[in-house]
C-alpha cells in the first residue's frame, strides 16, 4: 500500500509510520517529494488495519494496491467459472435464461407460466415465495406453500428453480426446495444471511445492491465464498440514480467490469432495472450483446392481475418474441440460445 503524508508531516511522523509498519512485517520505501512524502509499504495488509494507520499523525491518505477480494477475484483463479444449477450450467457457452413471475400466486398460475417459458427457451424457472415488499401491507408471498408449488412445477417441466431467501432462519428450508438461492438487492449487505448461504453448496444468485459499488458487490460474493460456497453468480439489476423515467439505471458497464475483475458469471435482470415492461427487451438485448452470461426476465400470464411487479412483467407471448429477437444477438457474440 501507499501512505501519502500531508505537507505538515515531520520526520518523526514518517519514522513513526515506518516503525508501526515494521512491527507488522512490512518493508517500507519512503519517497520524498518537494512538499509531500509518500511511503510505499510491501507486506500482508490483512494483518494491519488501514483505518488505524490513517489516524496516525501526518497521514493524509492511504492507497491500497491489491484488491480486497481474493476468492471472487481473478488473482487466484484465472479461468471463468462455470456453475452447475440442476440440469444446466451458468457461465459457459450456452446463454442462461431465467424466467417466471415475480411472485408465486397459485399452482395454476405458476405451472402455466412454467410451461410457456420452457417452451420459449427458458433454462431456469424463477418465482418468489418470500417477497421483500416496501410496504408492510403488501402481499408478501405464499411462503413454504409457494416453494412446494415451484418445486412441483419445476419437476413437471424439467427446469431447475431459483427463489429468494430473506431470513437466516429460513435458509435450510428454502435450500431444501430450490436449486439456486437468490440474495436480493436489499440483502446484498445482510452479512449474516451471506454467511448462512455460504454454508450451503447450492448456487447463489447474488443481486447487486441498489447503490452498491462493484467492489462492495464482489466483497459480498467474497463473504459467501469465504464460508466455503464458491457457487456464486452475480446479477446486475440496475442501480439507483437521479433519473426518474426508469425504476433503476441498468449499469451495462458492470458486465465488462466484473468480467475483468472476477471469474464469476454475470446475469442481467432488465425487469427490475427498467421497472416497465416496454423497456425490458431493449435492455435484455443490450446486455446479451455486451457479454452477459444470461438474462433473468419476469413473465406473468396476466400482468394486469399480478400481485407484485405486474408493470414490469412480460406476457408469455412478449417473452417468446424477445427470445426470438435475442437469438441472432446471442449468435453474434458466440453464445447458444
Instruction: Name residues contacting its own copies, limited to 208-227 (CB under 8 A).
Output: 209-211, 213-216, 219, 222-223, 226-227
Is there a contact between 324 and 314 (Cβ–Cβ < 8 Å)? no
DSSP letter assigned to residue 157:
H
Out of 77, 80, 84, 246, which residue is the one contacting its own copies (CB under 8 A)?
246
Nearest distance in Å: CB 275, its own copies = 9
Closer by beta carbon to its own copies, 38 or else 152: 38
Nearest distance in Å: CB 270, its own copies = 9
User: What residues from 84 to 123 belong to the interface with its own copies (CB under 8 A)?
Assistant: none
Is the torsion defined by CA of 209, 215, 218, 219 positive or negative? negative
Is there a contact between 184 and 132 (Cβ–Cβ < 8 Å)? yes
Site string for its own copies, 33-52 (x = CB under 8 A): xxxx-x-x-x---x--x-xx
Out of 118, 202, 263, 285, which residue is the one contacting its own copies (CB under 8 A)?
285
Beta bridge partners of 89: 84
Size of the site for its own copies (CB under 8 A): 105
Out of 98, 181, 255, 322, which residue is the one contacting its own copies (CB under 8 A)?
255
Nearest distance in Å: CB 15, its own copies = 15
Closer by beta carbon to its own copies, 144 or else 325: 325
3-state secondary structure 269-329: CHHHHHCCHHHHHHHHHHHHHCCCCEEEEEECCCHHHCCCCHHHCECHHHHHHHHHHHHHH
Nearest distance in Å: CB 208, its own copies = 10
Is there a contact between 313 and 322 (Cβ–Cβ < 8 Å)? no
Closer by beta carbon to its own copies, 152 or else 289: 289
- Tell me the C-alpha distance between 248 and 254, whole Å: 14
User: What residues from 8 to 37 belong to the interface with its own copies (CB under 8 A)?
Assistant: 29, 31-36
Nearest distance in Å: CB 301, its own copies = 12
Residue 5, C-alpha cell as written in the block: 503524508
Closer by beta carbon to its own copies, 83 or else 219: 219
Nearest distance in Å: CB 127, its own copies = 17
Closer by beta carbon to its own copies, 4 or else 173: 4
Closer by beta carbon to its own copies, 124 or else 171: 171
- Secondary structure element (H or E) that encloses residue 164, with its range: strand 161-164
Q: Is 329 in the site for its own copies (CB under 8 A)?
A: yes
Give the end-to-end CA distance of the chain in Å, rounded to a whole number: 45
Find the length of the chain.
337
DSSP letter assigned to residue 103:
B
Neighbours of 289 (CB within 10 A): 15
Closer by beta carbon to its own copies, 11 or else 169: 169
The CA-atom distances, in angstroms, between 129 and each of 3, 104, 165, 326 are: 49, 6, 9, 29
Site string for its own copies, 155-194 (x = CB under 8 A): -----------xxxx----------------xx-xxxx--
Nearest distance in Å: CB 111, its own copies = 21
Nearest distance in Å: CB 176, its own copies = 18
The CA-atom distances, in angstroms, between 246 and each of 13, 140, 243, 269, 331 are: 51, 24, 7, 14, 29
Nearest distance in Å: CB 171, its own copies = 11
Amino acid at each position: 500500500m501507499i501512505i501519502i503524508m500531508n505537507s505538515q508531516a515531520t520526520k518523526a511522523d514518517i519514522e513513526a509510520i515506518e516503525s508501526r509498519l515494521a512491527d507488522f512485517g512490512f518493508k517500507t520505501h519512503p519517497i520524498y517529494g518537494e512538499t509531500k512524502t509518500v511511503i510505499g509499504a510491501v507486506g500482508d495488509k490483512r494483518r494491519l488495519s488501514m483505518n488505524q494507520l490513517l489516524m496516525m499523525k501526518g497521514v493524509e491518505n492511504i492507497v491500497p494496491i491489491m484488491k480486497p477480494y481474493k476468492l471472487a477475484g481473478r488473482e487466484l483463479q484465472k479461468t471463468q467459472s462455470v456453475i452447475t444449477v440442476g440440469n444446466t450450467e451458468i457461465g459457459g457457452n450456452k446463454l442462461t435464461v431465467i424466467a417466471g413471475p415475480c411472485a408465486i400466486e397459485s399452482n395454476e398460475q405458476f405451472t402455466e407460466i412454467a410451461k410457456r417459458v420452457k417452451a420459449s427457451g427458458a433454462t431456469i424457472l424463477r418465482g418468489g415465495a418470500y417477497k421483500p415488499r416496501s410496504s408492510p401491507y403488501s402481499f408478501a408471498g405464499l411462503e413454504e406453500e409457494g416453494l412446494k408449488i415451484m418445486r412441483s412445477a419445476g419437476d413437471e417441466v424439467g427446469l431447475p428453480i431459483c427463489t429468494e431467501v430473506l431470513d437466516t432462519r429460513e435458509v435450510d428450508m428454502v435450500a431444501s426446495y430450490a436449486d439456486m438461492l437468490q440474495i436480493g438487492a436489499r440483502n446484498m449487505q445482510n452479512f449474516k444471511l451471506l454467511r448462512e448461504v455460504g454454508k450451503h453448496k447450492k448456487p447463489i444468485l447474488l443481486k447487486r445492491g441498489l447503490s452498491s459499488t462493484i467492489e462492495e458487490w464482489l466483497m459480498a460474493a467474497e463473504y459467501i465464498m469465504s464460508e466455503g460456497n464458491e457457487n456464486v453468480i452475480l446479477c446486475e439489476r440496475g442501480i439507483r440514480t437521479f433519473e426518474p423515467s426508469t425504476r433503476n439505471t441498468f449499469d451495462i458497464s458492470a458486465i465488462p467490469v466484473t468480467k475483468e475483475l472476477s471469474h464469476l458469471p454475470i446475469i442481467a435482470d432488465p425487469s427490475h432495472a427498467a421497472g416497465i415492461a416496454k423497456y425490458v427487451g431493449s435492455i435484455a438485448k443490450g446486455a446479451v450483446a455486451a457479454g452477459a452470461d444470461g438474462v433473468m426476465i419476469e413473465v406473468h400470464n396476466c400482468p394486469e392481475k399480478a400481485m407484485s411487479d405486474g408493470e414490469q412483467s412480460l406476457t408469455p407471448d412478449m417473452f417468446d418474441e424477445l427470445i426470438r429477437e435475442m437469438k441472432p444477438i446471442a449468435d453474434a457474440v458466440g453464445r447458444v440460445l
